[in-house]
Amino acid sequence: MIARPSFYLFTILFLFAITFDGLAQKSEKLWYDKPAANWNEALPLGNGFIGAMVFGAPQEERLQLNESTIWAGGPNNTVDSAALPYIKTLRNLIAQKKFSEAQQLANTRLGPKGNSGMPYQLAGNLYIHFPAFANISGYSRDLNINDATASVGFNADGINYKREYFTSFPENALILRLTADKAGSITCRLRLESPLKQKLYTSNNNIVMSGISSDHENQKGQVKFNVLTRVKNTGGTIVADSTGISVDHADTLLIYLTIATNFVNYHDLSGNSFSRATELMDHAFNKDFSTLLKRHKDFYQSYFSRVKLDLGTSDAAGMPTNVRISKFSGGHDPQLPELYFQFGRYLLICSSQPNSQPANLQGIWNGDLKGAWDSKYTININTEMNYWPSEPTHLSELGNPLFNMVRDVSLSGTETARVMYGARGWALHHNTDIWRITGIVDGAFWGLWPTSNAWLCQHLWEHYLYTGDKTFLKEYYPVMKGAAQFFIDVLQKDPRQNWLVVSPSVSPEHEYQPGVSVTAGATMDNQLVFGLFTAVARAAGVLQSDKAFADSVLQYRDRLPPMQIGRYGQLQEWLDDVDSTTDHHRHVSHLYGLFPGNQISPFRNPELFSAVKNSLIYRGDISTGWSMAWKINLWARLLDGNHAYKLITDQLSPANDKGFESGGTYPNLFDAHPPFQIDGNFGCTSGITEMLMQSHDGAVYLLPAIPDAWKQGSVTGLMARGGFTIDMCWANHQVTRLIVHSALGGNCRLRLNRPLHDKKLKNASAPNPNVFYAVSTLKTPIIKPHKQTLTPTLPKSYLYDMATEKGKTYTIIDGR
Ligand code: FUC
């Protein structure tokens, strides 16, 4: 603990200043020497509510615009009122192992009812057309993720032009300033366009677009929206005509743009989009550029600057970002993973703000009327992955839109639980949208998965583990309990062992016989329900309420199947030992227990840990962007930093549409499934965090999976469960300096690969008394005869306890 200033302390602080200094100085920019030739080269700006993709062509600027509540259709749910008898028949068929028959029945009787969810849609485009420039030189276009601004600069015919853009957080407005180094040089024409049904109206310095979202799959488009553009010039003239605004020989031009809709919540569209957009506009328009910029930066940096990472640098950092991506695997560019890590944090700040919609499959950025998979919420992995980095990378408040969505579906999902499953509580399947649909979408093969509620609830519990926020836990306890009640009612006895299993279900999107996915007791389901029941029982304990329910939930938990290790030494994905060693399917659902779950530990259940490793080796590396991102996290949890790094290299390879299950990175650093899907960005940011620090397994594990490529570095501001903030430097793979800030107090147990000599530390002995670090005992796994090793070779580690007090900071340095 820092007690009082002393010469010694100043020396230490000086050393820290030196070591952490590089963190603040580095420029964190994506930059290019050409305008965007397509959408995947354009640069994303956003404030959680509006999004814009900046193309930056000198001749014609294009800003593709989004607003997070513009979705096709209107309030609806997709509950299948005829489902229950088929669900019951399916349970019997599965219990009798008539799997093909079960699949056949599911495919014909349990498809989507009405629709498969509505697509998220673009608002339109703002185009700014300039007169022909003859000679253009010195072009550059960048996105500065330190302050969430973009800029374009070039010289044309001897005049230097500059464009500066940001989507203001406090004003909820897009701001664009056009300047030139010669007076009277800004001549251009602005117009708004949208492929949605819309009307345009212009007056003085305003363009007003009024539009409505599309009809889709029998749902009438009901989201009304307004895009407002208003300009302010110095010098020159402005004239509005019926389709746009012309600016003639201005010195500077400021463009303000706001977007609003009639969306209030998933069942209420009574807002007035025009008055909302106008109010935002009036609020922004009375501020000048520098005031707007300062307010924007201050807001953004209050999130972004909480974490700094330094993995080193090289000359490669000076190259355009697209060139860096193409050279990454063969070169030395340690700052690119660092940029990618921070870009993930940037994207989360810009696509998920308190009371916004949660980040969807494309965050908030979608240029189409119907993007890939409708650019909605796929909740059998993708939406959850979007939020993996929020807690550990110190963006805890940004989980709020996800939690709001969970509350919504816990309401809309009660009908699904009651009508489709005859159960209490709430449930939904593998997708939802802004209308919070809860039925089966796409078809039973993919969609007959009722366990997403358990996964979503894990995010609620984890938020409590990081923040210790009991008010939050109390508010969300009924949501968690409702999900547990659903499973108490739907769990079926497996006829062979009397285990309780989710039936019917699937192991997300995967088959265990050609064309057969429907099953009972998939490993992921068992793990998710185990995690849910554990969290509900612990939450009840924390809140000192509902003891009878907590006890009963634990009794049900005891009757879930154990994990099983199959004939290839693999963790079985299904109750039967049917996995194949040549299966490279993108989903690795059964490995949930290792990550993001915490049931499988190298120290507590080494056989399961080894079985996960075998499974992951069989699955291979190359896959969709998000799948590779998941594997980075898994290899980090397998304590293999070099393998995790190898996957980062795969992810940071140029996206070239090599195939559906072959991801990479687009020039604008967006993840390629392909196509663009933002989960890979967030998943990789989370994976890098897991390589640096983990806190799920009874201790804060420092540098658990640091690759040879990152021999030295430093990071500040990572969050560990129990409210600990970690700053550290390392060299030669070993922590050399460590600062722990304790927000909640309690025992801080540290695990690291070197001994530490500091009188604040005591050698630790299990179990960790800090309740945020409680771990669960699993049933002994069933292990089938196999030839592979189940004995992991673990790196040597040292375990220490440090007593901490709430609000205090502790410094531990290299004692050698
Ligand atoms: C699931 C995945 C696909 C894709 C889609 C959005 O269906 O299996 O790869 O990510 O979600």
Pairing of strands 206-212, 308-310: unpaired
663 CA from centroid of ligand 1 (Å): 12
Torsion of CA 443, 448, 452, 453, to 10 degrees: 120
Which residues lie below 8 Å from residue 390, measured CB to CB, with a gap of 6+?
348, 352, 396, 398, 399, 402
725 contacts: CB under 8 Å, gap ≥ 6: 394, 717, 718, 719, 740, 741, 743
> Ligand 1 in contact with 662 (CB < 6 A)?
no
The ligand 1 atom at the shortest distance from the C-alpha of residue 372 is 6
- The neighbouring-strand residues paired with 30 are 143
Ligand 1 centroid, distance to 660 Cα (angstroms): 10
Pocket test for ligand 1, best of 586, 627, 660, 682 (most atoms within 8 A of CB): 586
- Of 232, 233, 237, 234, the residue nearest 248 (C-alpha): 237
CA of 522 to the centre of ligand 1 (A): 19
Round to whole Å and give the CA distance between 620 and 610.
16
13 phi/psi in degrees, rounded to 5: -60, -35
Average of per-residue pLDDT across 376-387: 98
Residue 587 alpha carbon, nearest atom of ligand 1? 8
Helix (H, G, I), strand (E, B) or coil at 151: strand
373 CB-contact burial (10 Å; exposed 0-12 / middle 13-18 / buried 19+): buried
Q: What separation in Å is there between the alpha carbon of 358 and the centre of ligand 1?
A: 17
pTM reported for the whole predicted model: 0.96
Q: What are the phi and psi torsion angles at 7 (to 5°)? A: -60, -40
Whole-number mean pLDDT of the chain?
Answer: 95
Per-residue pLDDT at 813 exceeds 90:
no
The angle subtended at Cα 253 by Cα 251 and Cα 256, nearest 5°, is 170
Ligand 1 lined by 586 (C-beta under 6 Å): yes
Of the chain, the percentage scoring pLDDT greater than 90 comes to: 94
- How far out from the chain centre does Cα 785 lie? 39
pLDDT tier at 815, thresholds 50, 70, 90: low
Q: Which residues contact 516 (CB under 8 A, 6 or more apart)?
A: 99, 100, 102, 103
pLDDT per residue as tens digits for the range 703-747: 999 999 999 999 999 999 999 999 999 999 999 999 999 999 999
Q: Rounded to whole angstroms, how far apart are CA atoms 214 and 225?
A: 12
Helices (H), 287-352: 289-304, 321-327, 335-351
Mean pLDDT along residues 694-706: 98
Q: Is 155:148 a contact under the CB 8 Å cutoff?
A: no
Residues 167-177 pLDDT 10s: 999 999 999 99
Q: How far apart are CA 269 and CA 222, in angstroms?
A: 8
Which atom of ligand 1 lies nearest, measured to the CA of 442?
A: 7
Does the Cβ of 507 fall within 6 Å of ligand 1? no
Condensed to tens digits (0 to 9), the pLDDT of residues 673-685 reads 999 999 999 999 9
Residues, the chain: 816
114: confidence class by pLDDT, cuts 50, 70, 90: confident
Query: Alpha carbon of 475 to those of 125, 386, 398, 404, 743: distances in Å?
Result: 40, 23, 17, 11, 22
Residue 65 CA: distances (Å) to CA of 99, 267, 345, 367, 440: 47, 25, 21, 8, 31
For residue 340, how far is its CA from the centre of ligand 1 (angstroms)?
A: 22
Residue 13 has pLDDT above 60, yes or no: no
Confidence of residue 25 (pLDDT cuts 50, 70, 90): very low
CA dist list (Å): 503 to 413, 496, 780: 18, 14, 23
Both tokens assigned to 354: 């308190």
Ligand 1 pocket test: pick from 386, 673, 678 the residue with the most ligand atoms within 8 Å of its Cβ.
Answer: 673
Q: Is 585 in the pocket of ligand 1 (CB under 6 A)?
A: no
- How many alpha carbons lie under 13 Å from residue 147 in its C-beta half-sphere? 17
At 350 the pLDDT is 99
What are 290's two structure tokens?
A: 């520098």
- pLDDT at position 113 over 90: no
Averaged pLDDT, 30-39: 98
Residue 134 half-sphere exposure toward CB, CA atoms < 13 A: 3
Q: How far is the CA of 379 from the centre of ligand 1 (A)?
A: 9
Listed residue (797, 795, 793) closest to 755, CA to CA: 797
Tell whether ligand 1 has an atom less than 6 A from the beta carbon of residue 624: yes
| pLDDT of residue 473 exceeding 50 | yes
* Beta strands, E only, 213-291: 224-234, 237-240, 245-250, 252-261
User: Could you tell me the distance, in angstroms and rounded to a whole number, from the CA of residue 378 to the centre of ligand 1?
Assistant: 7
| Ligand 1 centroid distance, CA of 206 (Å) | 41
Report the separation in Å between the CA atom of 655 and the middle of ligand 1, taken as the mean of its atom positions: 17
Ligand 1 touching residue 213 (CB < 6 A): no
List the structure tokens of 474. 């109390």
- Work out the pLDDT band at 12, boundaries 50, 70, 90: very low
Task: Give me ligand 1 centre to Cα 361, in Å.
Answer: 9
Both tokens of 531, joined, read 């995690």
Span from the CA of 214 to the centroid of ligand 1 (angstroms):
24
Sheet bearing 149-156, strands edge to edge: 29-32, 136-144, 149-156, 159-168, 173-180, 252-261, 224-234, 206-212, 197-203
431 lines ligand 1 (CB under 6 A): no
Instruction: Give just the sign of the alpha carbon dihedral 193, 196, 197, 198.
Output: negative
Residue pair 207/241 in contact (Cβ under 8 Å)? The answer is no
**pLDDT tens profile 634-658:** 999 999 999 999 999 999 999 986 7
Residue 82 reports pLDDT greater than 70:
yes
Looking at the predicted structure, is the pLDDT value of residue 405 above 80? yes
Helix runs in 544-678, H state only: 547-558, 606-619, 625-637, 641-651
Ligand 1 neighbourhood includes 524 CB (under 6 angstroms): no
Which ligand 1 atom sits nearest the alpha carbon of residue 661? 9
373 CB within 6 A, ligand 1? yes
